[in-house]
Amino acid sequence: MAQAHRHARTQTPRVTLAAMAACAVAATVAVGCAAAGSGSPAIFSGSPAVVVRDQSNGHTVSVKVGDRLELVLASDYWTVRGSSLPRVLRQDGPTSDLPTPPGCGHIPGLGCVPIRTDFSALAAGTAVITASRTSCGEAMGCAPGQRHFTVTVVVRQR
């Protein structure tokens, strides 16, 4: 009995750390999803990357040569087409799914899993990032104004 109790005590810090890490990830995703649902243009540059979200659709953002840009869209229904000028703004790898936000569920086809596509600003100039979708919900087509995403990226010299 004492042995089992001692074993439980040594496991508690690991379990606590794992739970804290899971909560931190959930909180980060929740904040990201809350920002994606807010009415602001949702362009943040407080980190090493400029983050562009759904609300930036139709807007222009500025970055400097050498900056990273992360495009985060709130639904995996989007297909990111990439940059219009890869020599100015290069897509760095394929689009990837972000963690499923709380309350989304794990049912395929819900479309509530956010996606992320990374870009690097290589040279001064202007490029356009585009994305498109045909579905805006399970078995629900998109209205014409919801089918396309564009953000113009002006890359300036440092």
For the stretch 71-91, pLDDT in tens is 999 999 999 999 999 999 999
The pLDDT assigned to 102 comes to 84
Report d(CA 67, CA 89) in Å as an integer.
Answer: 10
CATH class of 2-156: mainly beta
Residue 83 burial by CB count (10 A; 0-12/13-18/19+): exposed, middle or buried? buried
At 13 the pLDDT is: 40
Strands 148-156 and 60-64: parallel
Q: What's the average pLDDT block by block, 10 residues per block, for the chain (158 residues)?
A: 41 37 37 37 55 97 97 95 98 94 74 93 98 86 91 96
Q: What confidence score (pLDDT) does residue 57 get? A: 97
> Contact, 60 vs 150, CB < 8 A?
no
Task: Give me the residue spans of the domains in the chain.
Answer: 2-156
Given a contact cutoff of 8 angstroms between Cβ atoms, the answer to whether 101 and 29 are in contact is yes
Please give the pLDDT value at position 2: 46
pLDDT digit string, tens, across residues 45-66: 444 799 999 999 999 999 999 9
Tell me, what's the pLDDT at 110? 75
